[in-house]
Amino acid sequence: EGMALPQRILFPPEKICMEWQQRQRAGAGLHNLGNTCFLNSVLQCLTYTPPLANYLLSREHSQSCRQRGFCMMCIMEAHVNEVLHSSASAIQPWAVIRVLTRIGEHFQLGMQEDAHEFLNYAINAMQRARPSGSSDLDFSSQETSIIHEIFGGLLRSRVTCLSCKAVSDTYEAFLDIPLDIEAASSVPEALQGFVKPEQLDGENGYKCSKCQQLATASKRLTIHRSSNVLTVCLKRFDPFSGEKISNVVQYPEYLDLGTYMSQAAGERLLYSLYAVLVHEGSSCQEGHYYCFVKGKASDGRWYKLDDASVGLCDIKTVLCQRAYLLFYAR
């Protein structure tokens, strides 16, 4: 709706498998190789993302990859297979650290980096690892990659002219949803703020293409197409000062996205929490990152992964963290 149809499907959506294909114990921890906790915690959250792990464990990508030199998907495939099949209690993630500047040229080994930023760069690097002959694809076709099929969704921005009632829609792809938390005590409340209509008037008025006036208008953002994996970033760092916003923000184990959709027809759209990434410290330039993930065993036990340490924990502990990133599976 409002979008061009893709000329080529890179990865058929019906091939996405949301349930673990192989059941086994928790994998290895990751040694900290000098301020690499930001990277370790992100890698562990990605490793326990079921549809991504299923794809990487199948080794389907490397069997057909023709990319020369750096390929983030090949690196992640090797990393996830090593973590989940290793008999060691922890491994050194050199495969990823060696290519840190290829993932993002400003990343420096030994420097504390922002975990959300690293996640974005890592996902975008995987997105660039597409099948051969797909470099000059149209925008809609690019969004049929395995990465977009897992993490990608669509936001709709609807502007309604309050003079003539004309409606104008624009669409934007997303790979995660950033939420303001300064005035919110829970994720549902922050999502309510995310989709709350905003009034455009005065100097910020809207030039309506129908009635040709600088009119007062209402603008509302909604989730138009939801993703298979929903990544929520609680905006804990002030963009100007870098200072930490340490509010307690409650988040549910099961999240219903139904009311935040463009067609909020009362239908439930349920997501289940499977990973939580936490930052401890007073600013994004310092502190420590670790995460909690839901294991692959059939009993769905939770683990705390803190660099090389892997330990069992309960859902109550998971739900009372000052989370930075939340990962939900549909």
pLDDT value at residue 296: 75
More confident residue, 298 or 31: 31
Contact (CB, 8 A) for 161 and 205: no
Rg (CA), the chain: 21
Report the pLDDT averaged over residues 75-89.
95
pLDDT value at residue 286: 84
pLDDT value at residue 136: 65
Which residue among 37, 74, 233, 284 is the active-site one? 37
Reported as type and span, the H/E element at residue 141 is helix 139-142
d(CA 221, CA 150) in angstroms, rounded, equals 22
Alpha helices in 172-268 (DSSP H): 187-194
pLDDT value at residue 104: 96
Phi, psi of 40 (to 5 degrees): -60, -45
pLDDT value at residue 204: 84
Report the pLDDT averaged over residues 172-195.
95
pLDDT value at residue 6: 67
d(CA 171, CA 169) in angstroms, rounded, equals 7
Listed in sequence order, the residues at least 6 apart from 133 whose beta carbon sits closer than 8 Å to its beta carbon are: none
Going by pLDDT thresholds of 50, 70 and 90, the confidence category of residue 319 is: very high
Report the pLDDT averaged over residues 290-305.
87
Q: Is the pLDDT of residue 1 over 60?
A: no
Contact (CB, 8 A) for 97 and 33: yes
Q: Which of 31-40, 69-78, 203-212 has the lowest mean pLDDT?
A: 203-212
Quick check: helix, strand or coil at residue 103?
Answer: helix
pLDDT value at residue 224: 94
d(CA 50, CA 92) in angstroms, rounded, equals 22
pLDDT value at residue 140: 65
pLDDT value at residue 25: 72
37 tagged catalytic: yes
pLDDT value at residue 139: 65
pLDDT value at residue 133: 52
Contact (CB, 8 A) for 37 and 114: no
pLDDT value at residue 155: 96
More confident residue, 216 or 136: 216
Q: Is the pLDDT of residue 211 over 80?
A: yes
Q: Is the pLDDT of residue 7 over 70?
A: no
Contact (CB, 8 A) for 214 and 207: yes
Which residue among 17, 31, 65, 288 is the active-site one? 288
Listed in sequence order, the residues at least 6 apart from 15 whose beta carbon sits closer than 8 Å to its beta carbon are: none
Going by pLDDT thresholds of 50, 70 and 90, the confidence category of residue 143 is: confident
45 tagged catalytic: no
Contact (CB, 8 A) for 185 and 248: yes
d(CA 32, CA 44) in angstroms, rounded, equals 13
Going by pLDDT thresholds of 50, 70 and 90, the confidence category of residue 303 is: very high
More confident residue, 226 or 296: 226
d(CA 21, CA 15) in angstroms, rounded, equals 12
Q: Which of 14-28, 101-115, 135-149, 183-197 has the lowest mean pLDDT?
A: 135-149
Going by pLDDT thresholds of 50, 70 and 90, the confidence category of residue 153 is: very high
d(CA 40, CA 33) in angstroms, rounded, equals 10
Q: Which domains does the chain have, with CATH numbers?
A: 26-131+143-329 (3.90.70.10)
Q: Could you identify the residue written with the tokens 């829609």?
A: 169
More confident residue, 137 or 176: 176
Q: Which of 210-219, 225-234, 314-323 has the lowest mean pLDDT?
A: 210-219
pLDDT value at residue 144: 77
Q: Is the pLDDT of residue 251 over 70?
A: yes
pLDDT value at residue 239: 79
Reported as type and span, the H/E element at residue 47 is helix 37-47
Cα dihedral 92, 93, 98, 101, rounded to 10, equals -140
Report the pLDDT averaged over residues 209-234.
93
